[in-house]
Amino acid sequence: ERAPRIAVNYLVEDQTPFNGPLRLCPGTQHQPFQRAPSVAKESAESLLSTMCPLPAGTALVRDLRTWHGGTPNLSRAHRAMPNAEFTSPEMLSLLRPDDMPKCLPHELWQQMSDRGKHLARFIKAAEGETLDVSVDFDLELGGSLAQRFFDASEPAPLFAACRGALMPAKEIGSSRGMT
């Protein structure tokens, strides 16, 4: 069976158990996404199905239908994981050009080979169109993981035991409005 869409995630740094590794749930590409459990109801096997350790330079190729998610980044640095997504010809035949988000500036598209231009024709912006590109991080660079990740919400049950190691009891109480 050919996957209708795939993603290739590029690891630009080592992926460890501590810097928010990607997790994948094998075999779920055939399950309706509506059946994916909430984090609180996931099995330990699912929560621990991380893709680590993996060295920088690794490319992870995955079916986009496969249930996946991040894990807590316990480090104090962002863990970037750029990716490229590819759509099968069968899936493309079902789409209109406007169905695909435009993410390739026209000026870069013009510099591509004829084959590259053909493959990227659905994602190129119109000539003169300005793209709004940005990266949003859950944690501000240099921000406190203890204050931003665990404040105002409970961690997944499996990670609840980590709370004390990340936030001293005094900080936990004050973050909940206790003194």
Residue 115 predicted with pLDDT over 90: yes
pTM of the predicted structure, to 2 decimals:
0.67
Residue from 17, 18, 84 nearest 51 by CA:
17
Residue from 154, 151, 146 nearest 39 by CA:
154
pLDDT digits (tens, 9 = 90+) for 38-87: 878 888 888 788 888 999 999 999 999 999 888 888 887 888 889 999 99
Question: Which runs of E-coded beta strand occur in the chain?
Answer: 5-10, 23-24, 59-63, 68-69, 83-87
**What local confidence, expressed as pLDDT, does residue 63 receive?**
95
In order, the DSSP letters of 44-66 are HHHHT-B--SB-TT-EEEEETTS
